[in-house]
Amino acid sequence: MNAPTDQSMNTSRRTFLKTAAFIAGGLVIAFSIPYAKRFLLPGKEDAAGDAKMPEPNAFLRIGTDDTITVLLAHSEMGQSIWTTLPMLIAEELDADWSKIKVEHAPAAPAYAHTAYGLQITGGSSTTWSEFDRYRQAGALTRALLVQAAAQKLGVDAATLKTENGKVISGDQQLSYGELAEAAAGMETPSTVKLKDPKDWKIIGKATKRLDGPEKINGSAIFGQDIHIDGQLTAVVARSPVFGGKVKSYDDSAARKIKGVKNVVQVPTGVAVLADNYWTAKQGRDALKIDWDLGENAKLDSAQMLEDYRKLAGEKGLPAAKVGDSASAIGKAAKTIEAEYTTPYLAHSPMEPLNCTVRIGDDSCDVWTGTQMQGTDQQAVAKITGLKPEQVKIHTVFLGGGFGRRANPAADFVSEATHVAKAAGGTVKTVWTREDDVKGGYYRPMYLHKARIGLAADGQPMAWEQAIVGQSIMLGTPFEAFMIKNGVDATSVEGVADSPYLKGIADHTIELHTVKASIPVLWWRSVGHSHTGFVMESLVDEAAHAAEQDPLVYRRELLKNHPRHLAALNLAAEKAGWNQPTAKGIGRGIAVHESFGSYVAQVAEVSVEEGAVKVHRVVCAIDCGLAVNPDSLKAQLESAIAFGLGATLQSQITFKDGQVQQSNFHDYQVLRMNQMPKVEVHIVQSTEKMGGVGEPGVPPIAPAVTNAIFALTGKRIRSLPIGSQLA
Amino acid sequence: MVTLNINGQDQQLDAPDDMPILWAVRDLAQLSGTKFGCGMAQCGACTVHLDGQAIRSCVTPVSAAVGKKLTTIEHMSEDKIGQVVQAAWSEIDVVQCGYCQSGQIMAATALLANNKKPSDADIDAAMSGNICRCGTYPRIRAAIHAAAEKLA
Ligand code: FES
Ligand code: FES
């Protein structure tokens, strides 16, 4: 296990600040732990040496009523971090689990991601990146409570035990609530020791979600549910073509609707404000706007794909190059040539985007479900002319994120701020589902063109692949770090670093980054969402060309990659790979590493009257330590459903500059009747921790299309499958 | 002004006749448990019961609810079947982001009120109009079966 080997920490070389204040009857003990060394963003490293931590910076509060409030530096969007991070603190604190409460932390530098240097929930990184920080916060607080108890009881701290929210000395007990105030005044110990993993009582145990009850009884508050007295709701008319501008507008019909309170122009369009959503929406629909559609009025995704195809035949920028693939392919016994395509995809989280903003003279309050508080705060500060610390971001539950709510451009937060600035008062800006489907920040469309040479024994000996598509990182704060020599690492991840290529002496991977004005963004599993499909399909093609079993073939290629193998073998074994399939059922397999985790899936499918039905998916993961095995399983079930919808039927297309889909009837996602049985198996692993939110997505498409090939002999090379089998 | 009976109580709401029940419930009665997901009967997030039947409140005008009993998620803890469904949801730890779950629970409760022992095909038929982007479908299915067993 990577993290648990570092059992003690030297607090003297770090700066802990603890502050005490009574908030709502409870004492606040604030601990901040300086930034970790690794940073994604350049120029942020200086902060590591910064001894003075800014306020607010608490990671937990102990109330005199014994409640332990854990503050989350990350956002709860379904992934169960509301439970996992408290588990880490509670473990080291020996807390009473029934006394745990949870809050989202405010936006503040202290809550910056330990690896990325800014406050963000993404990259399937929360658990591994917080594994030390939250355990340390728990351990440190425990040490202070023990000191306080020792002083109070006049005994040596070394004789004291902690258990279930109490410090115990013989038959005497003091609750954490009783000790909280005294603990806040204690000297910070120079070292605290983290528990030996064998002593863990909470970590590694399936633990029920702490946000379950309120999400079951309807009381959980999402951004859509924010209601501030006097607030108005705004719905915005945006250009039907990306980049279009308002030439002029006529709001007379909108203003006649009872309940419409205001109409304001903002950089993204025209906002109608009303007492409630329904009236605002009617007002928005009654606007007459003359748009200057700009240069994208002819945008056509079918044409773009043709252009991508041509580009793929030209020389691109090298993303990986070893040996001389062109001449090696000339010597191959067999060659495979294939083109793969994947479409633009909307995230379409269940909760349509929204953000409530109230701008005051020297402060601004923002209520929203966001994955990226830091950049949102900066954006609001810029628009309002306030200082970032004057902007309070109140993070509420996210009704799904999938990447859409982590936008470096802070699009929906900025727009809502513009609306509130133009109109005054408190304004909740709400997107309709149509606004969401048409409003962009899509997973980019990609085209891959590959040429693989197989040796006489069927093993790949040369590999060439060109990838064409938009860059997600271009123009974001991540650009300097993520784009090297013109190659966006997220466009080629999963290919350029593929374990399959490591064993191939001659290979060339090239990238063509297309400049287009379609707003793009990371979509659950980012580049792996297309590269996993392409690589696992190509390897399957190679196995069939070599007339070998796809599992056996992969095992040979991955023989030096034990974590891939562990996941692959476990999934195959649990799926009964060596048993014959039932009549009419095809079986396919895929394995892919992303975000530090290794996931293999076996899918069983049938095809009837041109329609694919996925009956069963057996999934195995090696993510290192599984902190909460049940929520880990839930994340893989979730990833399979999310990825399967895109595999079968989701796509965003453009014609005459406009998005052709609008709502769930034509931007189709997975439904109950399409959900296969899912079995998730966890590789018992002491390897480095990886993520679990995203890595379940990449293997599902190829597991399904490989199964279709096994059953029908038809190779699906373009997603979604749609009616290709009809 | 319309009078709607919501969760057993008559409420006077300043809603135009054509306002969908969803917005009368959320924005006027300020019961925020019922969710907006699509506004066109495609996702089920807005599911409520009208005289015990599951309806999509985003496309049903308030005029259709006058004189009838409207029940929302906030009332499920007092509904005999709703309680069992909620307990099964908790037992199986169904929820993820949670945004679709009010609608899922309302749809599942209506299903079980009409069908004491739904098969997988019955569940597909009754629940496929309720989208869950988090993919909690396997757990929803398991929870419905578990609730049916408790109710038997
Ligand atoms: S909001 Fe009513 S069905 Fe989607
Ligand atoms: S739990 Fe997130 S949409 Fe269903």
For residue A180, the model assigns a pLDDT of: 86
| CA–CA gap between residue B61 and residue B121 (Å, rounded) | 31
* Contact yes or no for B43 and A350 at CB 8 A: yes
Q: Is the separation of the CB atoms in A641 and A94 below 8 Å? A: no
CB A255 within 8 A of CB A264: no
Nearest-angstrom CA–CA distance, A394 and B9: 33
Contact A344, A485 (CB under 8 A): no
Interface of A with B in 133-152 (CB under 8 A): none
**Which residues in A lie closer than 8 A to residue B94 (C-beta atoms)?**
216
A718 assigned to some structural domain: no
Average pLDDT of every residue of chain A: 91
The whole-angstrom separation of Cα A504 and Cα A403 is: 34
Q: Give B93's contacts in chain A (Cβ within 8 Å).
A: 208-209, 212, 630-631, 634
CATH of the domain at A135: 3.30.365.10
Q: How confident is the model at residue A24 (pLDDT cuts 50, 70, 90)?
A: very low
**What DSSP state is assigned to residue A552?**
H
| Other C-beta atoms lying within 10 Å of the C-beta of residue B10 | 8
Of A396, A430, A464, the one marking the end of a domain is A430
Find the domain containing A686 and state its range: 301-344+442-712
Nearest-neighbour CA in chain B from A60: distance (Å): 23
Average pLDDT over residues A51-73: 76
Q: What is the pLDDT of residue A2?
A: 32
Indicate if A87 and A116 belong to the same structural domain.
Answer: yes
Whether A569 and A656 share a structural domain: yes
With a 6 Å cutoff on the Cβ, whether B66 touches ligand 2 is no
- A400 is written with which tokens? 């799904």
Task: Confirm whether A435 is domain-assigned.
Answer: no
Atom of ligand 2 nearest to the CA of A215: 1
B135 with A225: Cβ contact below 8 A = no
Same domain membership, residue A164 and residue A240? no
**pLDDT > 60? residue A32:** no
Render pLDDT for B116-151 as a digit per residue (tens, 0 to 9). Answer: 999 999 999 999 999 999 999 999 999 999 999 999
Which residues 66-125 of A have a C-beta within 8 angstroms of B? 76-80
A123 and A272 within one domain: no
Q: How many helices (H) and strands (E) does chain A have?
A: 19, 32
Asked whether the predicted pLDDT for residue A396 surpasses 80, the reply is: yes
What's B76-151's CATH class? mainly alpha
Give the contacts of A310 (CB within 8 A, at least 6 positions apart): none
Three-state secondary structure string covering A264-322: EEECCEEEEEECCHHHHHHHHHHCEEEEECHHHCCCCHHHHHHHHHHHHCCCCEEEEEE
Residue A252: CB partners within 8 Å, gap ≥ 6? none
Please say whether the beta carbons of A691 and A631 come within 8 A.
Answer: no
On whether both A159 and A231 belong to a single domain, the answer is: no
pLDDT at A9 over 60: no
Pocket of ligand 1 (CB under 6 A): B 36-39, 41-46, 56, 58
Q: Looking at the domain assignment, is residue A723 inside a domain?
A: no
Q: What distance, in Å, lies between the first and last C-alpha atoms of chain B?
A: 43
Give the per-residue SS3 of A126-175.
HHHHHHHHHHHHHHHHHHHHHHHHHHHHCCCHHHCEEECCEEEECCEEEE
Domain assignment of residue A184, yes or no: yes
> How does pLDDT run across B13-72, given as a tens digit for each residue?
999 999 999 999 999 999 999 999 999 999 999 999 999 999 999 999 999 999 999 999
CA A471 to chain centre: 18
- Specify whether the CB–CB gap between B37 and B99 falls below 8 A: yes
| C-beta neighbour count of A181 within 10 angstroms | 15
- Say how many CA atoms lie within 13 Å of A486 toward its Cβ: 13
Domain locations in chain B? 2-75, 76-151
Q: Are residues A535 and A495 in the same domain?
A: yes
pLDDT digits (tens, 9 = 90+) for A264-274: 999 999 999 99
A22 shares a domain with A106? yes
The whole-angstrom distance between B152's CA and the closest CA on chain A is 22
Q: Is residue A21 in some structural domain?
A: yes
Strand pairing class (A391-395; A426-430): unpaired
Tell me if A17 sits within 8 A of A32, measured CB to CB. Answer: yes
The string of pLDDT tens digits covering residues A355-384 is 999 999 999 999 999 999 999 999 999 999
Number of domains present in the structure of chain A:
3
Please state, in angstroms and as integers, the Cα–Cα distance from residue A31 to each residue in A82, A111, A133, A137, following that order: 19, 11, 10, 7
> Which residues of B fall within a CB distance of 8 Å from A639?
135
Nearest to B131 among A233, A275, A664 (CB): A664
Q: A442 φ, ψ to 5°?
A: -95, 160
- Same domain as A402, residue A273: yes
pLDDT > 90 fraction of chain A, expressed in percent and rounded: 83
State residue A57's pLDDT score.
63
Supply angle C-alpha A72, A76, A80, rounded to 5: 100
Among the three residues A377, A407, A430, which one is the final residue of a domain in this structure? A430
**How many CB atoms are closer than 10 A to CB A199?**
9
Shared-domain flag, residues A461 and A410: no
Query: Chain B within 8 Å of A714 (Cβ-Cβ)?
Result: no
Question: Of A216, A233, A254, which one is at a domain's C-terminal end?
Answer: A216
Residue A3 lies in a domain: no
Among partner residues A208, A225, A349, which is closest to B93 by beta-carbon distance?
Answer: A208
Sorted by sequence, the CB contacts under 8 Å of residue A271 that are 6+ apart come out as A234, A235, A236, A237, A263, A264, A265, A284, A419, A422, A423, A429
Of A74, A107, A75, A35, which is closest to residue A373 (Cα–Cα)? A107
CB A124 within 8 A of CB A692: yes
Residue A8: pLDDT over 50: no
**pLDDT per residue as tens digits for the range A661-715:** 999 999 999 999 999 999 999 999 999 999 999 999 999 999 999 999 999 999 9
ipTM above 0.85, yes or no: yes
The class level of CATH for B2-75 reads alpha beta
* Residue A666, in any domain of the structure: yes
Poorest-confidence range of A24-33, A309-318, A489-498, B67-76?
A: A24-33
pLDDT tens for each residue of A557-612: 999 999 999 999 999 999 999 999 999 999 999 999 999 999 999 999 999 999 99
Residue nearest to atom 4 of ligand 2 (CA): B132
Among the residues of A154-267, which ranges form H helices? 176-184, 212-216, 252-256
**pLDDT band at A202, cuts 50/70/90?**
very high
Task: Give B-chain residues touching A225 at CB under 8 angstroms.
Answer: 32
Instruction: Give the model's pLDDT for residue A36.
Output: 33
Q: What's the rounded Cα separation, in Å, for the pair A670 and A650?
A: 9
Q: Is residue A1 part of a domain?
A: no
Residue-level pLDDT at A17: 44
